[in-house]
Structure 1
């Protein structure tokens, strides 16, 4: 079952039809008709997408209820507003093809359409909305049909019709809003011509004029083919407008008066002041005559422009052509007998069978023509390609078809072409928000017929497009070392680097290889001496009589000749140097006065200690000449001592190797022992005989 839809300027007509292959008949199952709300379309162009979509939805719903079929696909035709036509041809070597099939012929036709785009010279993109075959040839000989033929070379020449991209896309937007997918798109005059000027009549030079509400679409046939398409942006609405103005009625009432002209001699209506009025047919015709003259004059000129001369006959279809005097005036403008210009209705259409009520009137020619060409697959502007093995019909846009156009028209979501980026990581560094962007995803790999391609690669009918799944971005792997900058300083003139101390989420970090997670809070402080110089033990600690001492020892770090504490924080560009320091002795820290006594040695005054200093550590006596120990607790005290002769002689500088003999006198008395105790004021004499005295 095929759903055909005619979206006219004033009305919408939907038809459900089937094709009987045996009788070659179109069977009309159901049809529905509604008028647009207000003037949603002007001159065949959609001005209010939502209102037009609302009317289409009503048609769709009515037909679905009558047929119990869910409708998702539709055949449509577009009015020739801003119509441009172009001729293209294509030749194919068929010497190895065998008998030509319909698929090969279709590809040839679409290649010819594509060739016609090369002759377009417009800044805006154009959609091909239909084409007619001008001729086929086989081995340079004209032939009516190519299917089933074989030979060396086949050729096709087409007349393609184009409309601006925005005109067509407005129509596509309407269909999309009601969930309909177009499966056949053509031009309204092509659809109408398929019925009123079938192939057998095209040997005659006949013009077909579809006078709708907004446009008058024209096609010309001659010598078996359609030779031209045209359009005049004047039609039934111009007639309605003048009635509305002259009789002071709204557009809807004016439309009713216009339709009554072919049925009544007197017409009753209410004007905009709600006053009842009666007007005679002759009065209305007098009002509309100047407009009809203008419209038929423009149509006649366009026919002459397309055909170069008056045709032998003109077939008028569409509701706008039903107005009295219209066909007569058009005949007059073309210089034809009035019987050569006639209104074509559905009464005498061959091979159209109505199962329900009959569609009467010339206004139904175009909707019936839409289902006729769609069911017979005539003049379709769709290219069939495959995307991941699925058949996709697409319209020809502009001069070249590419992968992107195919994806867009197939409803492919472009966000599927690129993998999702991985989540970003947000963290704080020293109370400042930092954001590491996620890694970008990889593009989907695209091939056309097995060859690597991208979205801008050209395609042609029958091509196979394969799109792999894109790859999402890899998770962000951010480490502390990636965001923490080292401190640069100099040590003994050589450049060095050190990393700050890092606290992450309240805990000290041991390694900068740790990863940063979303929401982490990181604080840094400059590195300390003890952090950078692990072997540096710059001070030792000890006590003397519970008084603490600390002294620099070993290798120390200095800046500007000042010894740095281990907690000193190294700064950028610091100039540091090292220095070696020996361990001091215990006595160097003793500042204790001892009691003295005065004696005389060889007549000179000498002061001797009457007290001595005793140092102990852990209960053991230690020599104050020893080096201090880290962590030691020294106890120092003074004790009285006996002063002996030997203490006196410690004040003499004597070379004992040169002494031969000596005598010691204490208070003028000779003594023999150095251990002799002495008292304050003692007088000591030392007499020495040495080698020098002997000589």
Structure 2
């Protein structure tokens, strides 16, 4: 197996309730090029939270080995997604005086630290601190204030926190596979890198990532993330409804949902019949696809109703000119966008990774939105770290950084 430079490879690991996916990409001059994808059924998670360490570890190992085999590389570290009802978020302001009357990287760090100086429960830790914008003196809406003159710097952060134990359990499962976790990302934040355009974020858009165990929401307004939430209802509940209503095993219900599901019964124009396996030794039965749609619609309507309440609660429901973007494995269903438009009363589209090179035919699928998004998250995080490390190219750069450090600490 050929070992490529670790710096050239970025690996996204999407640990979901229904599946684990590992996606390998090479960081080239033309951008990210996907070279390997591995998937495995997920058995050890419930609603995004690890409930069985051994099963989760084995699922991760299978997915990573498959990705390694396809990409012809050895995976050593990953960017990992995290979700679940334990994740919470809030917005917090921060303000500091600008040193030397010119905004520097040190001032940015200090104002973000000031915004994070809020009480957080002992069982929670900060996962992300995402700035809405910055204000220098009376100049608002600034995205990159470094180098600007002023005496006062303000910001407003969107702070995402998660359960310490849930984070540790995810990391433990990954580390048991002899892998390092470079960074953790909220799954809907990662998905946004892959499926949302800059114009949508600027206009105002709600991303809804419908997975197996959770539906993850991220709201963007004026190009910045403003609200996140997790709803513990998703595709698995639809599968369970089908299994109960049609009296068929859960595994068969999932296959029926994926192959024949439709969220709007009126879209079914023919008298298509589907074969439904029975439990035990009973023979299979034939039912109309219309009957299946009548089982599916109420559950998705309930889910969209809960999501709509969350949009209203966020206070940004009337600022979503870009509408709603559905992604995730459980968003791939005929008529789902039509049903969502009925509930949200705004435009809805299905989102899938677009700007993908390499194995694009496989990766351009809503089921891989989080995995591909983690690659972009890793690329951006790596770039930001390099900037923060300050690869100074001249004596003046080095001297300015040393002077700023001494002024901040003495």
Normalised by the length of structure 2, the TM-score is 0.81
Q: Are the structure 2 counterparts of residues 380 and 33 from structure 1 closer, same or farther at C-alpha, using a change threshold of 3 Å? A: farther
SS in 2 for 1:134: strand
* Matched residue, 2:50: 46
Which residue number in structure 2 is paired with residue 259 of structure 1? 258
Deviations 1:253-299 (A, max 9, x none): 11111100259944334222242333332111112222122111111
CA offset at residue 18 of structure 1? Answer: 3.1
Structure number with the higher strand fraction is: 1
User: Which residue is 1:279 aligned to?
Assistant: 287
Q: CA deviation at 1:354?
A: 2.3
The one of 282, 287, 298 aligned to 1:290: 298
Whether the aligned pair in 1 keeps the contact of 2:214 and 2:230 (CA below 8 Å) is yes
Cα deviations by residue, 1:95-144 (Å, 9 ceiling, x for unpaired): 4497735xx477347525632xx144x4x510222232211233442322
Equivalent residue runs for 1:66-145 within 5 Å:
66-96=70-100, 100-101=104-105, 104=106, 107-108=109-110, 111-112=113-114, 114-115=116-117, 118-120=118-120, 122=121, 124-141=122-139, 142-145=141-144
CA distance in 1 between partners of 2:383 and 2:312 (Å): 25
SS in 1 for 2:295: helix
Name the counterpart of 1:32.
38
TM-score (norm 1): 0.49
> Which residue is 1:620 aligned to?
none
Q: Secondary structure at the match of 1:358?
A: helix
Please list, as runs of the form range in 1=range in 2, the aligned pairs for 1:89-238 lying within 5 A after superposition. 89-96=93-100, 100-101=104-105, 104=106, 107-108=109-110, 111-112=113-114, 114-115=116-117, 118-120=118-120, 122=121, 124-141=122-139, 142-147=141-146, 149=148, 151-238=150-237
**Match in the other structure for 1:408:** none
Secondary structure of 1:203's match? helix
**Structure 1 residues 7 and 128: alpha-carbon distance in aligned structure 2, compared to 1, 3 A threshold:** same
1:242 aligns to what? 241
**Does 2:29 align with 1:13?**
no
Residues 261 and 292 in structure 2, CA contact (< 8 A), matched pair in contact too: no
Kindly state the Cα deviation for residue 228 of structure 1 after the two structures are TM-superposed.
Answer: 0.7
Secondary structure, counterpart of 2:155 in structure 1: strand
In structure 1, what is the Cα distance between the partners aligned to 2:383 and 2:221? 18
**Contact 1:85–1:159 (Cα < 8 Å) also in 2:** yes
| Matching residue of 1:416 | none
Q: How many residues align?
A: 369
2:368 is equivalent to residue 370 of structure 1: no
C-alpha deviation, 1:151, in angstroms: 4.9
Higher relative contact order (CA 8 A, sep 6+): 2
Higher Rg: 1
8 Å contact 1:192–1:369 — kept in the other structure?
Answer: yes
Which structure 1 residue ranges, 5 or more long, are not aligned?
Answer: 386-461, 464-695
CA RMSD of aligned residues (A): 3.0
The aligned counterpart of 1:318 is 328
Give the gaps of 5 or more residues in structure 2.
Answer: 1-8, 263-267, 390-407
8 Å Cα contact 1:32-1:63 kept in structure 2: yes
Q: What CA deviation, in whole Å up to 9, does each residue of 1:232-266 have, x standing for no partner?
A: 11110000001111222222111111100259944
Change in 2 beyond 3 A, CA 1:179/1:92: farther
Selected match of 2:351 from 329, 344, 347: 344
Query: Cα distance, 1:55 vs. partner?
Result: 0.6
